[in-house]
Chain A
Amino acid sequence: RKEVEQDPGPFNVPEGATVAFNCTYSNSASQSFFWYRQDCRKEPKLLMSVYSSGNEDGRFTAQLNRASQYISLLIRDSKLSDSATYLCVVNIKYGNKLVFGAGTILRVKS
């Protein structure tokens, strides 16, 4: 079983749609959680950290459910520029290595 599992997609959505991605992780001792965004042939870029209380940054909302070991990302009012691969990332111990999911592909179409 992979340490971080994501639905690979692709998710094909029209502009303005709301889309949600989910992710599960296997290590219950994991301490911090992130969503990264990766454009084709580029480096991963930090989109947002995910906190237990849930957090929002503009059109993006992230949720964490420690009991179910489940992380989600909601994107509202999708833009063409949101098209990318979204990586669910877990840090077992603060400051140590990141464990990546394989990514979920999002394609936003006009």
Chain B
Amino acid sequence: EAGVTQFPSHSVIEKGQTVTLRCDPISGHDNLYWYRRVMGKEIKFLLHFVKESKQDESGMPNNRFLAERTGGTYSTLKVQPAELEDSGVYFCASSRLTGGSYEQYFGPGTRLTVT
């Protein structure tokens, strides 16, 4: 079974530019989550999709961040315009919707550097 995949693995952009991160969850996982780790801090939740619906977006830092999951498969996270404090590693995770302990499996992350 293929794991969670994320693209790109690295992105370096200038302040004010736009970046779009992509996540492909494990096949059959209806729950999809975005998390972020900024330097020196713990991993923090951003938002949670159940299929194509946003279940919880309480962790989104501000309206410069837009997440979508059209069709309930892959998800994108767009940052526009990027600021210096957006630098960090963005992780995507997925889990089954029912019938288990809802263990979340993480992708390799996208390392975003805003200069």
Task: Give A contacts to B, CB under 8 Å.
Answer: 2, 4, 32, 34, 42-46, 49, 87, 91, 94-103
Instruction: Mark B residues whose CB is within 8 Å of A.
Output: 31, 33, 35, 41-45, 48, 55-56, 58-59, 91, 93, 95, 97, 101-109
Q: Which residues of A contact B108 (CB under 8 A)?
A: 42-43
Task: Tell me whether B55 and A34 are in contact (CB under 8 A).
Answer: no
Number of A-B contacts (CB under 8 A): 52
Chain A residues with CB under 8 A of B56: 96-97
Q: How far is the CA of A87 from the CA of B106 in the complex (A)?
A: 13
12 contacts between A and B (CB under 8 A): A2-B42, A42-B108, A43-B106, A94-B101, A94-B102, A95-B31, A97-B45, A97-B59, A98-B33, A98-B45, A101-B42, A102-B42
User: Which residue of A has the minimal Cβ distance to B104?
Assistant: A98
Cross-interface CB contact of A44 among B41, B95, B106, cutoff 8 Å = B106
Which residues of A lie under 8 Å from residue B35 when comparing CB positions?
A: 98, 100
Whether A100 touches B91, Cβ cut-off 8 Å, given contacts A44-B106, A49-B103, is: no
